[in-house]
Structure 1
């Protein structure tokens, strides 16, 4: 009997081990398939992600328009949605045109500075000796700057196509929003589960919206300050640098570093004066440090309790999968993952790792947060 039981126990252990191996293999295969689809369909998925964010940002605007009354007549929901879609379309097309114009200005100016940029940068290493300066100059001269500029210009040309696709996606989302609550109820088949799912979605939308609003305000302030400093130093591309600083500040951590280095490099190429360039670099770096490490966290408060290391990992992953657009979307995607994992029991530990203090949102906090949102809507 003991031998049979030992054989049976060993057989069960072997079956369980094989089941675990199959589960791990299936997870790896599923991750590889999802990763492949994310890369292959990135243009559509990036446009859809941007459309969802814009839709969530304007949902409150639609409700505000729908509450307006003209005499005894109210504004129909469909008319409010059409008005919001027209506003979004106009704003997106205008912003895309401005961005493309500024990128063309920077790229054309970069090509005009391409010949003297290597010698200007190499002169920064003159204090290390002529051999080092000559080696740096030879290295920079071997870089095909014009090919990189053409690549960036080609990618920028897709911006207008993406803008049109985003507008189409937003239009379809507006058309579907009327039936969203009904679909959720029918999908779960339980009013309590549907209400809980709606609360989770509302929490994601408002946290992402709050992050974007605060980030936009801080980025605008930073861009204006950089423009003022660059103008004071007589930089020809001051306006373009201010606009690009505003855009790059949406990329967490890395964006501010790239923007600061870009301002200093353009300043040195234009002026060729190490002292003024160093002063420009220090002032711009101080602006980025104060706005990014003091004002930004102060305004964010407890609304976004994200792990700094998690943000870096999210930035690296989505940057590798979707390129520069993925870097812009890395934090909103991480906010969504944090909220969802906080309320799925099996993924609660993932939320602990993604949160800053290891204290993700619980059910009571979710209810309190939604109550505050409902109170604000009622005002």
Structure 2
């Protein structure tokens, strides 16, 4: 009995040591994962993009498979082949368009390099002659050629990434019919496998809806910017429209960068402060209405993401994967939100990531998704 207190003290020490070891292991594991994410960024970015495209085309495959040619229904295998061909054609066409626009922008940027410092400095003339001269000297010190070489090198890797994405999507299509069987064998329980399948379907549905709405809003914004640039006689009207469309997929920051870029081009090409101000105001109104009013109205509560969480995700994946990580930040955050919502120990993270602190519940998970992105019943006849 006299030795009971020392035993109690000794039993507490291993518990503290275990917690310290667990914390250290978590830090080491995070560092290793972060290292692998950075080192294998090209392959992982291509794989993540392929998975998103594959999930996005699941509704397309089902839509094609429901069509009939006379009394015959299109086989699911043929529908998958057709969807794969459409994806490959779309990706190759998109990459060729982007490469051509990048080349156009690079060539015109070289021609603007001489007059850009003076044009940008003129925008700060209202601050005084000293400030204008300081801006002019700062712009002249920028080595435009190094930035252009960096942009050209990244653009050259776009074709390789496109081919790799097409290969990944093709293999995913080939494995599609065995997914449910593999999931059941992996989980080992039919009820749990069905629950995991519901979580995956919820992720796919939310990501698909986000991409659909974002594509429509970005296309409308890009078209309006193109019309505006044409109205003001800007030589880069087509390029500005396409760049605006692409940048609007980057949450929050993309629209700001696009607006600043259009304003800069207007100032360099036109050289008139009042006209540049008019372009800036009109583009700002377009971005605000489409991005802050129409976009949230269409999204509704489909994403339920915290704005601060989106900024954190954007900063993290931008630091890890660069510009492609910024494009993938929201789909990755949607996946994390849905997964954390249905894992009890991770649900506090889901509360932090959700907009109102109300992440997806089990009741919401049990509600069947009756219609696809085409508005048709997803259940087979």
TM-score, normalization: structure 1? 0.97
1:229 CA drift (Å): 1.0
Contact 1:235–1:267 (Cα < 8 Å) also in 2: yes
1:69 CA drift (Å): 2.9
1:92-131 per-residue CA deviation (whole Å, 9 max, x = no partner) reads: 0001101111111111111110111011111222222222
1:72 CA drift (Å): 3.7
User: Is the deviation greater in 138-147 or in 163-172?
Assistant: 138-147
Q: Quote the Cα distance in structure 2 between the aligned partners of 1:316 and 1:13.
A: 40
Q: Quote the Cα distance in structure 2 between the aligned partners of 1:59 and 1:126.
A: 55
1:44-91 per-residue CA deviation (whole Å, 9 max, x = no partner) reads: 000001101110111111112222233343322221111111110001
Contact 1:199–1:370 (Cα < 8 Å) also in 2: no
> Partner of 1:130 in structure 2?
129
Is 1:89–2:88 an aligned residue pair?
Answer: yes
Number of aligned positions between the proteins: 378
Contact 2:120–2:268 (Cα < 8 Å) also in 1: yes
Q: Quote the Cα distance in structure 1 between the aligned partners of 2:175 and 2:340.
A: 26
> Partner of 1:378 in structure 2?
379
1:68-107 alignment, distance < 5 Å: 68-107=67-106
> Partner of 1:39 in structure 2?
38
Contact 2:370–2:378 (Cα < 8 Å) also in 1: no
Name the SS of the counterpart of 1:370 in structure 2.
Answer: coil
User: Is the deviation greater in 104-113 or in 318-327?
Assistant: 104-113
User: Is the deviation greater in 93-102 or in 71-80?
Assistant: 71-80
Q: Quote the Cα distance in structure 1 between the aligned partners of 2:250 and 2:75.
A: 38
Q: Quote the Cα distance in structure 2 between the aligned partners of 1:18 and 1:372.
A: 53
Q: Structure 1 residues 375 and 115 mapped into 2: Cα distance closer, same or farther (>3 Å)?
A: closer
CA-atom RMSD, angstroms? 1.4
> Partner of 1:265 in structure 2?
264
1:264-301 per-residue CA deviation (whole Å, 9 max, x = no partner) reads: 00000000000000010011011101111100000001
In structure 2, runs of 5+ residues without a counterpart are: none
Contact 2:306–2:353 (Cα < 8 Å) also in 1: yes
Q: Quote the Cα distance in structure 1 between the aligned partners of 2:320 and 2:45.
A: 11
1:138-189 per-residue CA deviation (whole Å, 9 max, x = no partner) reads: 1111110111011011101100100000000000000000000111111111
Contact 1:203–1:369 (Cα < 8 Å) also in 2: no
1:211-360 alignment, distance < 5 Å: 211-360=210-359
1:17-28 alignment, distance < 5 Å: 17-28=16-27
> Partner of 1:173 in structure 2?
172
User: Is the deviation greater in 257-266 or in 106-115?
Assistant: 106-115
Name the SS of the counterpart of 1:377 in structure 2.
Answer: coil
Name the SS of the counterpart of 2:191 in structure 1.
Answer: helix
Q: Quote the Cα distance in structure 1 between the aligned partners of 2:81 and 2:107.
A: 39
User: Is the deviation greater in 241-250 or in 5-14?
Assistant: 5-14
1:371 CA drift (Å): 5.1
Q: Quote the Cα distance in structure 2 between the aligned partners of 1:348 and 1:370.
A: 23
1:314 CA drift (Å): 0.1
Name the SS of the counterpart of 1:200 in structure 2.
Answer: helix
Q: Would you tell me which structure has more helix in proportion to its own residues?
A: 1
Q: Quote the Cα distance in structure 1 between the aligned partners of 2:154 and 2:30.
A: 28
1:375 CA drift (Å): 8.0
> Partner of 1:147 in structure 2?
146
Q: Quote the Cα distance in structure 2 between the aligned partners of 1:144 and 1:249.
A: 27
Name the SS of the counterpart of 2:367 in structure 1.
Answer: helix
Q: Structure 1 residues 347 and 375 mapped into 2: Cα distance closer, same or farther (>3 Å)?
A: farther
Name the SS of the counterpart of 1:256 in structure 2.
Answer: helix
1:372 CA drift (Å): 5.8
In structure 1, runs of 5+ residues without a counterpart are: none
1:368 CA drift (Å): 1.2
Q: Quote the Cα distance in structure 2 between the aligned partners of 1:231 and 1:166.
A: 35
Contact 2:370–2:379 (Cα < 8 Å) also in 1: no
